[in-house]
């Protein structure tokens, strides 16, 4: 059975004080459920502190982005070696905000993916269509091209043990959520695309849904055959809500 992953993308939110409160809530309620990985992705400057505060709680830590270069004159960037140094196990790559606000292309995201694999940090590759692309009937084509750029760069074997997050851009931070059927359709298409290259990798790869997932809609989304967890923004900043989603993820495996 594939791993179920509930990942919180805190984006550029929080202070030491608010993060400490959030972690107190999370660690008080976090359960070690077989096959379910709970992951938090704080702003990079807090990763070290978050690791320390989490202690032995069953919660993994990831970064929200990384530079594809190993080191050098790249002001403001963080390298994979730095993330390794902090004990980061995962890194979100190609989030739609990175693509739209910071000009990250499919090719750059594929470079980052290759570098993360090389470093042994699990890439969480974000893909998704804009509203205009969905309305133009281009969803599968756009998402397929985003996935293909990574396969072209690392080969299908490079996707073993990786994670993909399908995040329709129009659903991120908007309160609009893809219906379970809309999400399942795209997840199944991604898995089919992977299977055309390698059926075993396609079957074992976890594909998360992201886009206004919350305590109220998580169970229905997670019940879909090809939805193996969630990448959660806003709702990951509230301990109770995030823990409810984690509980729904554990239930979805029963
Ligand atoms: C995200 O940032 O990846 C995300 C899905 O955000 P939200 O849950 O707030 O839509």
pLDDT tens figures, 147-174:
999 999 999 999 999 999 999 999 999 9
> Are the C-beta atoms of 239 and 20 separated by less than 8 Å?
no
The confidence score (pLDDT) of residue 33 equals 87
Instruction: Tell me the percentage of the chain whose pLDDT exceeds 70.
Output: 100
Q: What domains are there in the chain, each with its CATH number?
A: 4-10+36-66+77-252 (3.20.20.70)
Span from the CA of 101 to the centroid of ligand 1 (angstroms): 15
For residue 211 and ligand 1, the question of a CB distance below 6 A is answered with yes
Calpha distance 129→127 (Å, rounded): 7
To which residue do tokens 């129009």 refer?
Answer: 170
Instruction: Tell me the percentage of the chain whose pLDDT exceeds 90.
Output: 97
Calpha distance 210→94 (Å, rounded): 13
- Mutation pick for ligand 1 pocket among 13, 65, 173, 230 (CB with most ligand atoms within 8 Å): 173
- For the four alpha carbons of 62, 67, 69 and 70, in that order, the dihedral sign comes to negative
Beta strands 122-127; 206-210: pairing state: unpaired
The confidence score (pLDDT) of residue 227 equals 98
Span from the CA of 118 to the centroid of ligand 1 (angstroms): 27
Q: For this structure, is 167 an active site residue?
A: yes
- Mutation pick for ligand 1 pocket among 11, 65, 92, 237 (CB with most ligand atoms within 8 Å): 11
Q: Quick one: which atom of ligand 1 is closest to the CA of 171?
A: 10
């Amino acid at each position: 059975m594939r791993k179920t992953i509930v990942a919180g993308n805190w984006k550029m939110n929080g202070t030491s004080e608010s993060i400490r409160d959030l972690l107190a809530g999370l660690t008080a309620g976090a359960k070690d459920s077989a096959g379910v990985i709970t992951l938090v992705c704080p702003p990079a400057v807090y990763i070290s502190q978050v690791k320390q505060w989490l202690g032995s709680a069953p919660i993994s830590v990831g970064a929200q982005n990384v530079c594809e270069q190993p080191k050098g004159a790249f002001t403001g960037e963080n390298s994979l070696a730095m993330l390794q140094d902090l004990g980061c196990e995962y890194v979100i790559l190609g989030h739609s905000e990175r693509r739209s606000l910071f000009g990250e292309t499919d090719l750059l995201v594929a470079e980052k993916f290759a570098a993360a694999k090389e470093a042994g940090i699990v890439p969480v590759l974000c893909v998704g269509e804009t509203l205009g692309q969905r309305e133009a009937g281009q969803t599968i084509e756009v998402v397929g091209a985003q996935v293909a750029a990574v396969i072209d760069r690392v080969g299908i074997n490079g996707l073993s043990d990786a994670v993909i997050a399908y995040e329709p851009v129009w659903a991120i931070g908007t309160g609009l959520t893809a219906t379970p059927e809309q999400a399942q359709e795209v997840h199944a298409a991604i898995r089919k695309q992977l299977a055309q290259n390698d059926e075993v990798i396609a079957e074992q790869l976890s594909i998360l849904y992201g886009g206004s997932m919350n305590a109220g809609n998580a169970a229905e989304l997670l019940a879909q055959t090809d939805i193996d967890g969630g990448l959660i923004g806003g709702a990951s900043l509230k301990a109770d809500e995030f823990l409810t989603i984690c509980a729904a993820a554990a239930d979805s495996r029963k």
